Structure 1
Amino acid sequence: MTSDAGAASGGSAPQIAPLPRISVQAFCETQDFVALMNTAAVDRRMDKTHVKVHMGGVAAAIEAFRGAPTPNLIILETFGDRRQLIGQLDTLAESCDPGTKVVVLGHENDIALYRELISRGVSDYIVAPLDTLSFIARLSELYTAAAESLGRIIAVVGAKGGVGASSIAHNLAWSIARALQMQTVIADLDLPFGTAGLDFNQDPPQGVAEAVFAPDRVDSNLVDRLLSKCSDQLSLLAAPATIDRLYDLPESAFDAIIDVLRATSPSTVLDVPHQWSAWTKRVLVGADQLAIVAAPDLASLRNTKTLLDTLRLSRRNDQAPKVLLNMVGVPRRPEITPADFAKAIEIELAAVIPFEAKLFGSAANNGQMLAEVEPGSKIVESFDALGRELMGRTGLRKAKSGLFAPLIERFSRRRAG
């Protein structure tokens, strides 16, 4: 019974499992709780829930359910004294359907009341005030295992085609698996043209398409059969990379797969193709961490800003996406400097990846990762650091004094000159 008023601000956001597809009705006494419920209802972690908010507190709930079925979850705000509240809850219990959970939001940190409510079957007693993420976390815990067991979903997408987002995603997954010694899955969601199989020198007979087109069969056993081993710590969920069929996917096409990966893999990197559709937006909004890969040109700048503005609206309680500037320093090519790019999008760059044609070309043509071709490369160190940051293992210092500062300064001076 805690207020949990301090949600993570800075560093990595807390891992909170999305709530299942349930109906929720809240009965409020104050406008502050109405505002909290409305904010929580539009959070990505409650995307599957159906929420209704009422005024009137416990008394209104009693009247509402005298002759009506109860939802999966009832949330009650109360200011009443202990005896009155217990009496009201006993009356409400007479109308509750089996399986309905009840959460009480109170304004007194009363351990005796907490124990009495729990003994009477109340699922949780939460003390106000608390922030949105802490509130959602308490609701999530009613339906899921402890947050420590949840895997982290990292989505990587290009601001435009040809910026090397897939290469970044694959090397990032390799770095997380190798540097953190963490079981990791790289999932290639570009069904017609995915390159993860080529980059890892794998040609699995099955992959992500088998799960996409049979969502009712998706479980941990099926996903485990579809994975192919790239190393002791890294597994690949490959795309078919064929165009013998059309991939007009529904919005929820990858929901079941991602739910299984979140529950079974500590780390999952999603290689999201550069397209804008219902399912790609849903994948990006639902990820725990986002990385947008851009090139130092005007089209990438415009598209990056568009993506940031759009995703912020759907991820109000999450950190801003990380922005990586790739292929910086192509000889004789006019470029936007990293400093100017960061200033225009109003976000510090998470990484500046220099143009190293020989290194990237050798890795791609040999079906290897950069760390296999040149283990001591500064670029490999950059991927390792970024992987730690995205996994919440080590907070990077700000770019002005951190690992990527020399790259930013070097290329800013070069382009300015």
Structure 2
Amino acid sequence: MSMPTLPSSKQTPPAGGRGSGRRVRILIVDGDAHAAGAVADILRAEDWDVAWAHTGAAALERVRLEGVDAVVADMRLPDMDGPALCRALREHSEMAAIPIVALSTSGQVADRVAALRAGASDFLVKPPDAVELVARLQAALDLQRGRSGTIVAVLGAKGGVGASILAANLALALRQQTHATVALADLAQTCCLDVLLNLQARLGVTDLLARAEELEPGDLETILTPHASGVEALLPGAEGSGVLAPEQARKALLALRRARDLTVVDVSPWPREVLAATIELADRLLIVLTPEITGLREATRLVQEAGQLGLARERMMLVLNRFPLRGGLQRRDVEGAVGLPVSVEIPNDVSLITYSTNRGVPLVSSHPRSRVARSIATAARSIAQAAGPR
């Protein structure tokens, strides 16, 4: 469904917001385009990504499909009143925790109480003071982040660079280091995480999608496949899942982010729409490549596209796998070509990787003192520290 374009006197910035990583996405719900544009200018000054819905129905559809971070809603809409919109948002589990700031031209106590009882997080009189609106939104977002999990996307610059192996081992390393709840989602075209972990899924991503609207956190335990490490895997399922639509990928990841502390996602460069949906929700992106010239162009393109989607460069980690490699590129050449510093080097150990893959036992468990395992543990520590205590 196409959405109206928000009028604005300012250009939306192309990159991430003030060191926050993924840009905060705010949905303005107001039937008055001029009033919505004024609020949008305030929010864009904070380098927040802004969208507009002119009716309550359009707002519900946009939140359901795009997973916005917060809603700023007028209490008088063309198709419903503001409290009705608040109640509708709170009735769906995937929208229930989204901060809602209600705006009204009325400052009457009865109107404030009606909005707050319907589920609004805060209430301001229109037109809102810019400083106060930003402060109220930031406080609500900070509180929400304390209840929201972290999504880590692992992406290979091309096939065969070891991204799936890294994703599986990274999930186990995060579990070992943090003792947090860790999910591992297989959204890659290769769908090989079940082999790498020696797991057989009874239920999978298609079952999650079928129940996502009314899913409760405890329900995930029947859909995710448990691993002996404590990591829970979202696998394609017994019948396979095929290629997910972008909306399906987004819905699955939102469900995992609500219910688990950390979610590691194995994702492919193609189809691009699914990748974009994943990056838009990711708090950190690991781009995996080897010291070969064939992957440099695609890695460079992926860094650029992630930036255009709102992910700050400091939230991107360039992982140089199988390094050093005889006859391969030097680290400085890779960094110069991609335009991003290498965060982690993983040594070339073909025999260990082959042994681990064939046994279905991740090497961080079977060979924790190996150089490969220690490198992956370093990446996990960096991610865990950024995510904060759990």
Determine if contact 1:17/1:150 at 8 Å carries over to the other structure. Answer: no
Which runs of 5 or more structure 1 residues have no equivalent in the other structure? 1-6, 55-60, 78-86, 108-125, 396-417
Deviations 1:354-398 (A, max 9, x none): 211111111111111112332212222221121121123599xxx
Match of 2:132 in 1: 127
Q: How far off is 1:233 after superposition?
A: 2.9
Determine if contact 1:15/1:152 at 8 Å carries over to the other structure. Answer: no
Task: Determine whether 1:158 maps to 2:156.
Answer: yes
Task: Determine whether 1:103 maps to 2:124.
Answer: yes
May I ask how many residue pairs the two structures share in their alignment?
A: 338
Task: Determine whether 1:380 maps to 2:373.
Answer: yes
Match of 1:227 in 2: 224
Alignment of 1:254-265 (within 5 A): 254-265=249-260
Task: Determine whether 1:89 maps to 2:100.
Answer: no
Match of 2:184 in 1: 186
Match of 2:49 in 1: 40
Identity rate of aligned residues, in percent?
Answer: 19
Question: Scaled by the length of structure 2, what TM-score is found?
Answer: 0.71
Provide closer, same or farther for how the CA distance between residues 74 and 181 of structure 1 changes in structure 2, counting only shifts above 3 A: closer
SS at match of 1:187: strand
Separation in 2, partners of 1:292, 1:380: 18
Identify the match of residue 316 of structure 2 among 315, 321, 327: 321
Q: How far off is 1:348 after superposition?
A: 0.9
Deviations 1:208-263 (A, max 9, x none): 232235544644343210122213532222224866x7x34322102332222212
SS at match of 2:385: coil
SS at match of 2:297: helix
Identify the match of residue 193 of structure 2 among 178, 192, 196: 196
Q: How far off is 1:152 after superposition?
A: 0.8
Between structures 1 and 2, the one with greater helix share: 2
Match of 2:55 in 1: none
Alignment of 1:313-352 (within 5 A): 313-315=308-310, 319-331=314-326, 334-352=327-345
Determine if contact 2:17/2:24 at 8 Å carries over to the other structure. Answer: no
Separation in 2, partners of 1:52, 1:152: 21
Match of 1:84 in 2: none
Q: How far off is 1:8 after superposition?
A: 9.3
Match of 1:23 in 2: 29
Match of 1:356 in 2: 349
Separation in 2, partners of 1:22, 1:67: 14
Determine if contact 2:156/2:268 at 8 Å carries over to the other structure. Answer: yes
Match of 1:365 in 2: 358
Determine if contact 1:187/1:236 at 8 Å carries over to the other structure. Answer: yes
Deviations 1:92-115 (A, max 9, x none): 949x888466335437xxxxxxxx
Match of 1:253 in 2: 248
Deviations 1:175-232 (A, max 9, x none): 1011222221111113x63111111111122222322355446443432101222135
Equivalent residue letter for 2:169: N
Equivalent residue letter for 2:177: A
Equivalent residue letter for 2:29: S
Question: Scaled by the length of structure 1, what TM-score is found?
Answer: 0.67
Deviates more, 1:381-390 or 1:299-308: 381-390
- RMSD across aligned positions (CA): 4.2
Identify the match of residue 290 of structure 1 among 282, 285, 294: 285
Provide closer, same or farther for how the CA distance between residues 368 and 352 of structure 1 changes in structure 2, counting only shifts above 3 A: same
Separation in 2, partners of 1:250, 1:152: 22
